[in-house]
Amino acid sequence: MLTNTIKLQSGLGLSLSQRIMPASASISSMMAGTISSQFTRGKRTKSKSTMSQGTQRVVGQLSVMSAARKQPLRLKLTNEDLVRHQVVHNAWAMLQKQKRQVREEKLTKQFEAMQSAMEDLKHGVEDGGVLFGFGSKFEKTKKRVSLELRVPTEYPPNQVWNHKYSKSD
């Protein structure tokens, strides 16, 4: 309260307090609705809205999610640029399609190779079906991908490869 009084006396008044410090939520909410002749620090002279502090905060938060005043101007392309953009888009789609086709072909081949290997193991080996039995055995618990397998990243880790592996660990 002391500083307030000084300011009032020094005649700097409302404009200074407004410029330097934002309205303190607790004080202004305390003062809201009460008629006071005494100067309060941070009190706005012109209250633009009659909304309560809480409502105001919600409005502020909602405005972040709203497109109002935040949308850029529409991107207008000339016909030439539109066609150029289409070419880029089509080339990308074509590239993805080609990659997909190669991958699918390969996967089919790998699947068929597994088939034929198992077929061969069953009928073409003189072992009394032992190898085929092992090869087609499934654990009751699901086989899981090892946790030590790394997902590729954009840049390598500081230690590229763990060379210090020991079985006894």
6 to 12, 17, 23: CA distances (angstroms): 9, 12, 18
Report the residue number, 37 or 78, with the smaller CB distance to other proteins: 78
Return the number of the residue (1 or 155) whose C-beta is nearest other proteins. 155
| Helix/strand/coil for 163 | coil
Q: How many CB atoms lie under 10 A from the CB of residue 140? A: 4
Q: C-beta of 48: minimal distance to other proteins in Å?
A: 13
Cβ-based neighbours of 83, under 8 Å, separated by 6 or more: none
At position 86, the amino acid (one-letter code) is: Q
Spell out, one character per residue from 63 to 102, where the chain touches other proteins: x when CB under 8 A holds, - when not.
Answer: xx--x-xxxxx-x-xxxxx-xxxxxx-xxx-xx--x---x
Residue ranges in 144-163 that form contacts with other proteins under rule CB under 8 A: 145-146, 148-150, 152-158, 160-163
Is residue 164 part of the contact set for other proteins (CB under 8 A)? yes
Q: What angle do CA 152, 149, 121 make, to 5 degrees?
A: 115
3-state secondary structure of 73: coil
**Is residue 12 a contact point for other proteins (CB under 8 A)?**
no
| CB of 37 or CB of 137, closer to other proteins | 137
Q: How far is the CB of 166 from other proteins (least distance, A)?
A: 5
Positions in 23-62 near other proteins (CB under 8 A): 60-61
